[in-house]
Structure 1
């Protein structure tokens, strides 16, 4: 059963106060507004009667309710759609309310949380309704420029312009399981279209939303996200002090040879990103997908709490990183940069995926974009090499001048086996090639590639 707009707010908020109805500037007499002209700006026969029936059925006089709410102690401006009011459609008056909500959020420095259930733009207002998408997008851009987070909860259904603005344009996108989500609604998509592509589950698999959240966990999940993204900084503290590198979790002694470093980094029992994230963060939430149709399970990105403050993370998990993984990492870095949150990257990959599918998916462009995201980040980025550092696929996530390494890691221009092949050497020369490449942690320190080698907790771990 679909919740009403107010029930949806009450389901996630501790308390809320509805925002006052915004006033609309007087429009030129030749261009009547939807509320001032009989049957709206198009003179659509029966539109006034349809709105009257919707009011009687819902108790609302528009398709969206806006409020100032407290969610887990954090203030936010909440936008909630009433689907029973003309299918939660966006018209001019909806645009008025949305613009006022975004404006209030900027005035108070608050995030916007959108609880969306809409079928799209309102037919009875024609292009005047469709143009509200530009209006909403403009307001969203202003809040983005102000460094204010935007979170979306996709209810059932979320289609059309509501998905393509408030939904897909949010920083963090959560969806209720089973919700219908897509730009094309059920009545306008091709009759043979795969319904899975228009579901919350399908959108998650395609990298377009961050997580499925059951209704009974939605309030808690929103609280965690707001706590991570909106925690006020202490007065006088740096805007974004660097994240300290994690302690080493694996072997503490340094390898004697280059090939010995490779063997240790490739060991199946070596600590991976999961262990480092668990040890470093008290609490974390993850984002998923590149928003371009791809998900890479070999990279984890999100935000966590470390020593009382929020740090963003992008962690390679020891597999060849795919284009979707690089794009997800770049998205994470840019979001953290906009919100003023420092970043930690964990480098661990044999290299970028180099199969035909990766090339078709734009491996080169994805890697280039990740390099660019790191190079232009205004917040400090700290990187720790925790295993394999395979060529440019690893370097793309390594912060210039702020890279540390664990004792059980290596970094190489290319894997020693491939280097030997390029140099037309036989297999017997691979070990010598590994030594010549100088890929051990101590070599990297001597060459100025890393700042230092981190140790276990309490044993001389590097300072930030």
Structure 2
């Protein structure tokens, strides 16, 4: 043991004798690592995987296509309007930061291409005064958002910041409003914005532009929040749990869409930029144009149809999505409380067309089904869809939903979180979306929990799927006083696909290929593509008018007008 200690000390002595700047010590495992090794590994410790901070130049090089970045607004520098001094004058701090980093400010902004797509790219560098946001950082963010809106290209902002710059007082504070206003205009212009969080992101940056991304991606190991742990503990004395404000914490609580390892981040950002900047309405190709309602197999008995719709061997919504879309990127979280696994949602490519998708998610087997709550969403699930619908409208992307749920979750927590309002708001939003919406019932269409995703320009249904106001068991218990009469209730409810077509509830019945998920998904893809060709050709005002008249007509065959009573 003494020999090993001596050998270790000798190694450290040799390292200490080398020229300064060749090695860095890992803050996680305390190992000494050669800087060239770190550079080759995107500054990731080869011993423990800890992420050293990336400077703005390194971050830009990792994300932007080679030699594509052109810096803008490089001439902007911070003044000292408050003539602020703490332990040092603010002017001295600025000069020291510039000398240390070679940067003029904490934000580096410019144009670039990512995955071949033009973008406006902004990167905050924590080495410059902790990446804090003063007036120049706010100005660069605002100018970049305005430039992205003018050019019609995505904005990508990589944040690493301790928050507002105290040396600029209230002028720093109001940069939050400036940046939020600029992002608001970007949204109004229908231009996508990808926000990337890297360690750390706090305060005024977290509570302004960093939280406003259409898609928010967090690098693994990132800490982010409105107030840092030290501020919380010293201000209100609250003890914080392990893992508080980590990227994984943010994902679990629905605040970010994705958490990525650093090596994966360039590919993920590239995929997002490709999808979100794609033409939302190119000429579609392929797909059958023949109506398929008459191609369905012999109808099942009502109760047998319920069994077929609930068959655990049916392709799940997630399986259909993987087979229907050529490229698929799931997004997560309601930006409020959690990510509900009972709802799957994101952006995908169907042929040459990019769409926003949403659907109910059941699992395979008891464990996964339990995790997905058997496809029964909480209010947070519907709020996630609400968020994706708004994204679709901002970016003029069509919406495709796949429906397979026994219904919305009916428990205590769902009521505390206002399940009724979550569904009602989604119904109203779906009715008024200014983009085409196509819904497909692929299994169970249970009650309001299913209808929440079924307000559409076209409602399609697979031939062995069902759509009903209530489960047969529930109807039997209420109407017959005996849940054992579920089969009788199923027949009386007329919940089969062709019953629904005759009643005018659905627009088309899609044939299935039992045992061949790929063939069944291909039928769905062809039908959706065919309807999208028609719907995307409509002016938004005409689209909304047609959708409203379609919804307005529901139940007209169930309304009987009696002779006018004298005196009324």
- When the two structures are superposed, what TM-score results if normalisation uses the length of structure 1? 0.91
Matching of residue 122 in structure 1 with residue 168 in structure 2: no
Q: 1:306 aligns with which of 336, 342, 350?
A: 350
Aligned counterpart in structure 2 of residue 393 of structure 1, from 431, 449, 461: 449
Secondary structure of the equivalent of 1:398?
A: coil
CA contact (8 A) 1:228 1:310 kept: yes
CA drift of 1:376 comes to 1.3
Q: For 1:92, which of 135, 139, 157 is the aligned residue?
A: 135
Cα deviation digits, residues 72-127 of structure 1 (max 9, x gap): 11011111001011110000111121121112112211111011000100111111
For residue 6 of structure 1, report the CA deviation from its aligned partner: 1.7
What is the match of residue 317 of structure 1?
A: 361
Secondary structure, in 3 states, of the residue corresponding to 2:227?
coil
Residue 43 of structure 1 aligns with which residue?
84
Corresponding residue of 1:230:
277
Q: Name which of 170, 180, 187 aligns with 2:223.
A: 180
Give the match's secondary structure for 1:187: helix
Match of 2:332 among 263, 274, 288: 288
Query: Equivalent residue of 2:467, what SS?
Result: strand
- Indicate the residue corresponding to 1:420 in structure 2: 476
**Residues 1:216 and 2:263 aligned together:** yes
Q: CA contact under 8 A between 1:87 and 1:119: conserved in structure 2?
A: yes
Matched-pair contact (CA < 8 Å) for 1:22–1:96: no
TM-score of the superposition, structure 2-length normalised? 0.75
| Structure 1: tracts of 5 or more residues without a match | 25-33
Of the candidates 302, 310, 315, which is equivalent to residue 266 of structure 1? Answer: 310
In structure 2, the residue matched to 1:436 is: 492
CA distance in 1, matches of 2:273, 2:288: 23
Q: Is the 8 A contact 2:296 2:509 kept in 1?
A: no
| Residue 20 (structure 1) shift | 2.8
Please give the residue correspondences for 1:49-128 in structure 2 after superposition, counting only pairs within 5 Å: 49-128=92-171
RMSD: 2.4
Are 2:132 and 2:163, in contact at CA under 8 Å, matched by a contact in 1? yes
C-alpha separation in 1, matches of 2:523 and 2:426: 33
Q: Does structure 2 retain, via aligned residues, the 8 Å contact 1:228–1:303?
A: yes
Report the secondary structure of 1:196's partner residue. coil
Larger relative CO (CA 8 A, sep 6+): 1 or 2? Answer: 1
Aligned-pair CA distance for 1:421? 1.5
Give the match's secondary structure for 2:240. coil
Tell me the CA shift for residue 197 of structure 1. 2.8
Question: Structure 1 residues 113, 227: closer, same or farther in 2, change over 3 A?
Answer: same
Distance in 2 (alpha carbons) for counterparts of 1:20 and 1:281: 40
- Residues 1:75 and 1:427: Cα distance change in structure 2 (over 3 Å): same
Cα displacement (A) at 1:459 = 7.5
| Matching residue of 1:28 | none
5+ long unaligned stretches in structure 2? 1-51, 363-374, 513-518, 532-568
1:163 aligned partner: 206
Number of residue pairs the alignment of both structures matches: 445
* Alpha-carbon distance change, 301 to 443 in structure 1, aligned in 2, over 3 angstroms: same
Instruction: Kindly indicate whether the alpha-carbon contact (under 8 Å) linking 2:297 and 2:511 is maintained by their aligned counterparts in 1.
Output: no
Residue of structure 2 in register with 1:16 after alignment: 69
Cα shift at 1:233: 5.5
Q: Could you tell me whether the CA contact under 8 Å between 2:330 and 2:346 is conserved in 1?
A: yes
Question: Higher Cα Rg: structure 1 or 2?
Answer: 2
SS in 2 for 1:194: coil
Match of 2:546 in 1: none
User: Deviation at 1:53?
Assistant: 1.1
Q: 2:485 aligns to what SS in structure 1?
A: helix
Return the offset for 1:23: 6.7
C-alpha separation in 2, matches of 1:311 and 1:64 = 33
Q: Which residue of 2 aligns with 1:30?
A: none
User: How has the CA–CA distance of structure 1 residues 440 and 233 changed in structure 2, closer, same or farther, with 3 Å as cutoff?
Assistant: closer
Q: Is 1:5 matched with 2:56?
A: yes
Normalized per residue, which structure has more helix? 2
Contact 1:42 1:126 in 2 (8 A): no
- Provide the rounded CA distance (Å) in 1 between the counterparts of 2:128 and 2:307: 63
